[in-house]
Amino acid sequence: MALRLAEWFNERWPIAAVVRWSLQEDIPGGSRFAYTLGSSALFLFLLQVATGVWQLFYYVPSTDHAYDSVMYLRTEVPLGWLVHGLHYWGNNAFLVVVGIHVARVFLWGAYKAPRELTWLSGVVLILLAASMTFTGALLAWDELGYWAGEVGTSIAGTVPWIGGFLERFFRGGGAMGQLTVARFFTLHVAVLPGLMVLLVVIHLVALRQFGSVGPWNPEKLQASGPFWPDQVLKDLLVISVLLVGLIGLSALAPAPITGPADPIDTTYTPKPEWNFLFLYEALQVFKGRWEPLGTVGIPLAIMALLVLAPFLDRREERRPRRRPVAITVGVLFAGGILALTLIGYRSHPGVAAGPPPPPPEPLPGPPVALSPSAKRGQELFQQLGCAACHAVSGPGSVLGPGLAGEGRRGRSRPWLTVQIRDPKEHTAASIMPPYAALTDAQVGDLIDYLMSLTTAPPPPQGAAPGAVAGVPPVAEAAALPVPPSGQQGPPGLAASMVGDPEHGAILFRLTCAACHGTEGTDKVPNPGADRGTVPPLKGIEAALFNDDPAVFAANIDGFVQHGSMPKGKAPQLHMPPVGVTNTLTQQQIAQIEAYVLALNGVDRAAIRRPGIAPVPFFILSCAVFAGVWAGLGGWWLAVRRRGGTEPRQVS
Amino acid sequence: MAEPPVVPAADSGRSRRRFLEAAAKVLAGLVAAVGAVPLAASVIGPIFRRPAAHFARVGRVDAFPLGEPVNPTFEYRTDDAYLHTIVLHDVWLVRRSATEVTVFSAVCPHLGCHYYWHAKARQFICPCHASVFSIEGRVLAGPSPRPLDTLPARIEEGELLVKWQRFELGMSRKVPL
């Protein structure tokens, strides 16, 4: 019955011919593991297609939903973590396998006539794969993808003459936004995959036209072996190892969580993933007007070298020993890319909080002439950035006490020396950084300068005569009413966004550490509040803590969004409403909340509904594959013992 | 009357064939070209549009105190292609007279924090890096590289309208983003 059905089909559509065409092929020199790279790349491509299509069941290509929809897939969908992980690691594996595939083909001299078209379609496939990596990263609309897209489209903007058009074309306008997501989405899921399928077909048909090239050693060419099943089995062995490896990577090293994209946040330092590092590192060499040479010249040179290889190297010779020029160029080429990748991997672009602050304005110095040492101290005061926290005239700021009139406070020189070198000696919770590295002479100059500040600060307007200027209580400076402790408003958008604790730590240092202490542990004094100190964030109140990261984040988000006034008569410090006042973006708040959760041992990106948890799933798949490999190995040994292996065909 | 020249059958067959081939190529080319017009136009068309910052209502002018900074929040519609979101923005403003209002962006020009008004000191103070500004927006102390950014504003029938914008941070020139 099945046979008749197959016949019926075959009369109307040549199935048998297609199967014969794709499987019945003689491999010159017989099957080899070295030839499994192309099939492995094909498998990884199909895996990308499958896991990519599957992500579309959840993904929403819009700036306000893309990140959350990806995180939903990764944390709330059973085995969604694996679909996403296979796609993420599958891409990396694809690039590696293709890289080795190209190296193998080059070493074997398989790009030479008449196989130029196989080689050329492969070069175009590499270009398409790189474009897929670039467009795919942006779709997650996280910090990594957003900034990679921002930098990538800016690089397109440096192309001479048409750069401006290209940048706008890819962004869908002047700035990154909704149209950028829509464009990258269309390219990533329709245009580029369509082209890739076309190129894969061309690649395979071109391969079958002339068959495999076989070993370069003419003696080995005498023998041959069939593609099916000899080579196919070797291919599948490698593919099964690859799949288990990808499952392991997805389980043990999930794709990085960098938090929701935030165009306004200047504290994120973009650095490309490994696959573009060589280009990133090469770009460092070309600055200013030479920039297009790096951004356009290098990629063009690489492509030109690959495209022209079969036309520049036209001799028939395939033995590597007889092709010293080609092999040297190839080794230099691959070595250069590898070296640049390694250098890029080790470089740290630094965590800069936006552009460096410009030199401070000249300080309004006291009217009296300064002694030479006090003058040096004044310069030092400016260089060290003391003015950022300490005002030397007027009432001072919220960070450090005002130093106007410091010379009349009766401080001794030893007291000031200790205060400068080790502020915690005087006040355990002081947030002033210790300037222990200053020389005795420098500290002396600084003290001379401070002692010269004898002009009393002007009494603030409206203040009672004799009022002491110092740290103005934040409470009276706030413009918005702050709800009393325990009566916070509802959580905001940030509560449902999965942040990145590492980035949150940077933001925390910049915005929260002044009151909450460096790791949320210091007991910063809060005079006037009932509890006397700012509540700790590490070892947070039990009422706020929750094992479920979404609940925990929602619990603390109300405080961050709306602020909180501690209980007490006149608390000097209170939690400012950083959310409703737009002081921080919702994305930044999500990052900081992820850090606070991490301080309390809760992973904001924990998989809430894994289906099967990652590590058990990995162990299970290892066991299943190991069992099958062992079974097949035993069968193979039994066949060999019975002398069942056929001799290779000799032509 | 002269007879029309007799064309050999084989020859007429060849030119007929040449015509059919040429006509098919012309029509195929035309179909492809005309089909490509809307595709190209729709994918390139919108990319040269400039997002328009617009004026939004902040409140009645006479509700703001004379000579005293206030920090009203107001609803502002942001447009990103077809995504329109209403967000809350705030500004600092000082009403100088019945018809004169200075409006400052609430974003510190240094690194983008939100500053506040210290009523006793009569200064704007940024809590992040302690930049201090006068009521006119001048830098008095701290790292801010330029005065507070003023925003375009106009008064219509007693209502204050403000054009909300962001500017590049950390530079001495005021450059709209």
pLDDT over threshold 90, residue A241? yes
B86 close contact with A: CB closer than 8 A: no
Long-range CB pairs of A153-159 (<8 Å, 24+ gap) are: A153/A180, A155/A283, A155/A295, A158/A291, A158/A292, A158/A295, A158/A296, A159/A292, A159/A295, A159/A296
Q: Choose the mutation target among A397, A510, A578 for the interface with B, i.e. most B CBs under 10 Å.
A: A397
pLDDT band at residue A613 using 50, 70 and 90 as cut-offs: very high
pLDDT band at A455 (very low <50, low <70, confident <90, very high): low
Which three-class secondary structure string do you get for A80-125?
HHHHHHHHHHHHHHHHHHHHHHHHHHHHCCCCCCCCHHHHHHHHHH
Give pLDDT, residue A50: 97
B173 touches chain A (CB under 8 A): no
Identify from A176, A351, A361 which residue to disrupt to test chain B contact, counting B C-beta atoms within 10 A and taking the largest count. Answer: A361
Closest CA of chain A from B16, distance in Å:
35
- Quick one: closest CA in A to B112, which residue? A583
Indicate yes or no: CB of A472 within 8 angstroms of CB of B121.
yes
User: pLDDT: is B52 or A616 the higher one?
Assistant: A616
Please tell me the least confidently modeled range out of A39-48, A231-240, A421-430, B32-41: A421-430
Top residue of B125, B133, B164, B166 to mutate, by most chain A CBs within 10 Å, is: B125
What is residue B31's predicted lDDT score, i.e. its pLDDT? 96
pLDDT surpasses 90 at A433: no
Give tens-digit pLDDT for B82-125. 898 887 788 999 999 888 999 999 988 987 777 888 888 899 98
pLDDT over 90 (residue B149):
yes
Question: Å from A220 to nearest chain B CA?
Answer: 51
Chain A residue numbers with beta carbons less than 8 Å from the beta carbon of B127 are 397-399, 474, 576
Backbone angles phi, psi at B72, to 5 degrees: -75, 145
Mean pLDDT of B117-145: 87
pLDDT at B94: 95
Which residues in chain A touch residue B47, judged by CB atoms under 8 angstroms apart?
Answer: 168-169, 171-173, 179
Is the per-residue pLDDT at A398 higher than 50? Answer: no
Using the predicted structure, report yes or no on whether residue A388 has a pLDDT greater than 60.
no
Mean pLDDT of A378-406: 63
A42-51, A70-79, A318-327, A638-647 — which is least confidently predicted? A638-647
Nearest CA in chain A to B172: A358
Look at residue A350 and tell me whether its pLDDT is greater than 70.
no
pLDDT at site A146: 93
Contacts of A389 in chain B (CB under 8 A): 130
A651: pLDDT confidence band, cut at 50, 70 and 90? very low
B41 touches chain A (CB under 8 A): no
**B129·A388 Cβ contact <8 A:** yes
| Whole-structure pTM value | 0.79
* pLDDT tens per residue across span B23-33: 999 999 999 99
Per-residue pLDDT tens over the stretch A259-269: 999 887 767 77
**Cβ atoms within 10 Å, residue A209:** 11
pLDDT surpassing 80 at residue B8: no
Q: Distance (Å) from the C-alpha of residue B44 to the closest C-alpha of chain A?
A: 7
Mean pLDDT of A34-43: 96
Q: How far does the CA of residue A139 sit from the closest CA of chain B (Å)? A: 17
CA distance A174 to A193: 27
| Residue A354: pLDDT over 80 | no
What confidence tier does A537 reach under pLDDT thresholds 50, 70, 90?
very high
Name every residue whose Cβ is closer than 8 Å to that of residue A392 and which is 6 or more positions away in sequence. Answer: A363, A364, A365, A381, A402, A403, A404, A406, A453
| Separation CA A522–CA B73 (nearest Å) | 35
| Angle B78-B84-B85 from CA coordinates, rounded to 5° | 65
Mean pLDDT throughout A96-118?
A: 95
**C-alpha to C-alpha distance for B110 and B170, rounded to whole angstroms:** 5
Residue A177: closest CA among chain B residues belongs to which residue? B80
pLDDT digits (tens, 9 = 90+) for A558-587: 999 999 999 988 887 888 888 887 778 899
Cβ neighbours for A233, distance < 8 A, ≥ 6 positions apart: none
Closest residue on chain A to B115 (Cα): A583
Residue-wise pLDDT tens digits, A177-188 = 999 999 999 999
3-state secondary structure of A315: coil
B93 vs A: CB within 8 A: no
Q: Do B46 and A399 touch (CB under 8 A)?
A: no
Q: pLDDT tens digits for A201-237?
A: 999 999 999 988 889 888 888 888 999 999 999 999 9
Is there a contact between B118 and A472 if contact means CB atoms under 8 Å apart?
A: yes
pLDDT at A44 over 50: yes
Cα Rg, chain A, nearest whole Å = 33
Confidence class for position A322, pLDDT limits 50, 70, 90:
very high
Tell me if A174 and B50 make a contact (CB, 8 A cut-off). Answer: yes
pLDDT value at residue A471: 34
Confidence of residue A473 (pLDDT cuts 50, 70, 90): very low
Share of chain A above pLDDT 70, in %: 86
For residues A59 and A350, which has the higher predicted lDDT (pLDDT)? A59
Instruction: Quote the pLDDT of residue B3.
Output: 66
Rounded to an integer, the average pLDDT of A378-397 is 62
- Weakest-pLDDT range from A41-55, A567-581, A621-635: A567-581
Check pLDDT > 80 for residue B11: no
Mean pLDDT, rounded, of chain A: 85
Q: pLDDT digits over A138-173, tens only?
A: 999 999 999 899 888 988 888 889 998 999 999 998
* Burial class, A290, CB count within 10 angstroms (exposed 0-12 / middle 13-18 / buried 19+): exposed
Whether the Cβ atoms of residue A213 and residue A108 lie closer than 8 Å to each other: yes
Size of interface A-B (CB pairs under 8 A): 138
For A323-340, the pLDDT digits (tens) are 999 999 999 999 999 999
DSSP B101: E
Q: A64–B114: do the CB atoms touch at under 8 Å?
A: no
Task: Decide which of A436 and B28 is more confident.
Answer: B28
**Residue A392 has what pLDDT?**
66
Nearest by CB: A358 against B50, B112, B145: B145
Query: Comparing A429 with A137, which gets the higher pLDDT?
Result: A137
Q: pLDDT band for A358, please (50, 70, 90 cuts).
A: very low
Per-residue model confidence (pLDDT) at position A464: 34
Whether residues A173 and B47 touch (CB distance < 8 A) is answered with yes
The span from the CA of A315 to the CA of A318, in Å, is: 8
Q: Which of B44, B117, B122 sits opposite A169 (nearest CB)?
A: B44
Taking contacts as CB-CB distances below 8 angstroms, the residues of chain B near A480 are 71
- Residues of A within 8 A of B46 (CB-CB) are 172-173, 179
The chain A residue lying nearest B82, using CA atoms, is A178
Tell whether the model's pLDDT for residue A396 goes beyond 60.
Answer: no
Reduced to 3 states (helix: H, G, I; strand: E, B; else coil), residue B83 is strand
Assign residue A195 a region: left if phi > 0, alpha if psi is -120 to 50, beta otherwise? Answer: alpha
Mean pLDDT of B130-135: 90
- Please give the pLDDT value at position A462: 35
Q: Residue B111 is nearest to which of A179, A266, A472, comparing CB atoms?
A: A266
Closest among B48, B102, B27, B112 to B70, alpha carbons compared: B102
Q: Does residue B147 sit at the A interface (CB-CB below 8 Å)?
A: no
Considering only alpha carbons, which residue of chain B is nearest residue A510? B128
